[in-house]
Structure 1
Amino acid sequence: MNAAEYANLEQREATHWYYTGKREIAIRWLERVGPPRASDLLLDCGAGTGRFATEMESHCRVMVLDDHEEALRLLRRKFRTEQILSIAGDRVPLPDGSLDYVTALDVLEHTPDDRAVVQGFHRLLKPGGVALVTVPAGMALWSDWDVVLHHFRRYSRPQLRALFPEPDWEILHVNYTNVVVYPAVWLVRKWRKIFPARAGQLRSEDKVPAGWLNALLRRVFVSMAFWRLPLPFGVSLLLVARRRAGPQ
């Protein structure tokens, strides 16, 4: 993302139902499959503005990883130097099996080789360690939003699950999320293909709804993220997986 997008994100993620809800979902799932202990180490990949990692500091030890200078500039404001990592070549500069948790919230879609990234998660996690990822779902929703955010793809559930093969991973949960707003998002994005947004115009995704609606959307978003019933579609996907013991 460019500097303007980071500034935009930092401004709205404190209150917008999607960003606050996504962080709550991630924390609650980690508590459910863990919970994280004070001595555990979590690496937040693609940490962006660092808000999620900051919230996780009350649960466990935290490190942050990003390869965009604008993100690293924001992270330096919030974390100690030894907590901040950037990619060294094509590897994360940490020893094998050094982490208890890896999180990647809307990150894999930004990477050319998502399979290699997940293999990196496997290398970094201890046996029994947990990876939690969220990604945008459904190529039917592909739009200028994805282009601006430098996405390579949107995912289906089988595509995301295939990145975590059975010999290496125990899938604890994988399901679509953000289901209720799917029809509205589909309509808005089809409309924008016909009538593109004007330069400088605020995208609908950037607008924080009225307080009551913002709270309602967050409550529905969060509650449905814990349904075990396989959902047929959604704007996003959530996967939680545990690294199996065995050769990497």
Structure 2
Amino acid sequence: MNADQPVIQGAMPRDDAALEARLIAAIDPWLQHMRWRANYAAWREQRIYQERYQAARLQRLEELAGPLERLVVLDVGAGMGGFAVAAALRGATIAACEFNRAYCAIIRLRAARYNLRLPVYNAAGEALPFTDQSFDAIVSWDVIEHVRDPRQMLDEFWRVLVPGGVALVTVINRWAWNDPHYHLRGINYLPRAWAEALIARRGRTKQGVAFRDMQRLREMHYFSYGAFRRLARAHGFHLMDLRERDLLAGRLQSARPTRRAARALLRHVGLEHAAYRWQRQWYTGMFELALFKAG
């Protein structure tokens, strides 16, 4: 399924120009620090209509947890609400939990775009305001690197998941060659002070944006694959690398023809899986993982 295809089926946004103007005005100040992007206009458009670009993630959640209309889902670090709104439109019972108050307001406006009554909670991932075993699944993308205490957040995930539940998370590789936040190559191989000086020199800092979560490189939590796997196991989770799962199932796709050719050659000589694991250790920017709670 193409992640860039709209996922809204049978749900049309309200014809409300004033609401649209309020939503765009609320979103725009949080995008200005990224104006250096070459594709800024298209990137901004995807943030404004974020709920239309969630097909791949919705499909992933269904594959691992079951039909959306039967799931009770928690979106931790829901950001601007694109996934939460898309999941609700597809029939999931979903709550959005977000630390940034301004983002909470954006989520409510995005939900109002479709007349959705979506519960939104202003809370941190380390202190989820829910009772034990409340959710079938948790999604938490681009979040764990920003929290104060990743260990406490995993404790909370375990607590609020039902036995047999699953959390879908992304984790930034400590040895990412192209840093996913700053889009600069090689900075994770430099001392953090040097890397931050380079980030500032290239104009990639988030100064002037009122983020409350941790955004400086030295403050964020990056993990090697092995380190995060050990952390997940220590909290009682069974970890699955979702890209590795796709590779073994013959579903991992490469956008560039040269990469497709290289993978085909490695597959032919029986080294594709070994090459994937080497790349995961020393190059990959971000891990896409499922954490299963026994039950």
Compute the TM-score of the two structures, normalised by the length of structure 1: 0.65
Instruction: Give 1:104's match in structure 2, choosing from 140, 149, 157.
Output: 140
Q: Distance in 2 between matches of 1:52 and 1:124?
A: 20
The aligned counterpart of 1:54 is: 85
Please report how far the alpha carbon of residue 244 of structure 1 lies from its aligned counterpart in structure 2 after TM superposition: 1.2
Q: Distance in 1 between matches of 2:166 and 2:41?
A: 27
Please report how far the alpha carbon of residue 161 of structure 1 lies from its aligned counterpart in structure 2 after TM superposition: 1.5
Which aligned runs of 4 or more in structure 1 are off by greater than 6 angstroms? Answer: none
Q: Tell me how large the CA RMSD over aligned residues is.
A: 3.8
Q: Which moved more, 1:102-111 or 1:152-161?
A: 152-161
Secondary structure, aligned partner of 1:239: strand
Q: Which moved more, 1:68-77 or 1:79-88?
A: 79-88
The Cα offsets for residues 45-65 of structure 1, whole Å up to 9 and x where unpaired, read as: 111110111121204111101
Secondary structure, aligned partner of 2:139: strand
Matched, 1:42 2:73: yes
The Cα offsets for residues 191-228 of structure 1, whole Å up to 9 and x where unpaired, read as: xxxxxxxxxxxxxxxxxxxxxxxx947xx9xxx9xxx9
Identify the structure with the greater strand proportion: 1
Higher relative contact order, chain-length normalized (CA < 8 Å, sep 6+): 1
Q: Distance in 2 between matches of 1:10 and 1:69?
A: 25
Q: Which moved more, 1:151-160 or 1:129-138?
A: 151-160
Question: Structure 1 residues 15, 86: CA separation in 2 closer, same or farther (over 3 Å shift)?
Answer: closer
Q: Distance in 1 between matches of 2:169 and 2:68?
A: 20
Amino acid in structure 2 at the alignment position of 1:237? F
Matched, 1:238 2:288: yes
Instruction: Give 2:106's match in structure 1, choosing from 74, 85, 96.
Output: 74
Matched, 1:160 2:228: yes
Please report how far the alpha carbon of residue 169 of structure 1 lies from its aligned counterpart in structure 2 after TM superposition: 1.6
Identity %: 21
Retained in 1: the 8 A contact 2:76–2:138? yes
Retained in 1: the 8 A contact 2:125–2:153? no
Q: Distance in 2 between matches of 1:238 and 1:122?
A: 18
Q: Distance in 2 between matches of 1:3 and 1:153?
A: 27
Q: Distance in 2 between matches of 1:101 and 1:82?
A: 17
Please report how far the alpha carbon of residue 242 of structure 1 lies from its aligned counterpart in structure 2 after TM superposition: 1.2
Retained in 2: the 8 A contact 1:3–1:70? no
Q: Distance in 2 between matches of 1:89 and 1:45?
A: 6
Matched, 1:28 2:64: no
Question: Structure 1 residues 11, 47: CA separation in 2 closer, same or farther (over 3 Å shift)?
Answer: farther
Question: Structure 1 residues 59, 159: CA separation in 2 closer, same or farther (over 3 Å shift)?
Answer: farther
The aligned counterpart of 1:5 is: 30
The aligned counterpart of 1:192 is: none
Ranges in structure 1 where 5+ consecutive residues have no aligned partner: 177-214
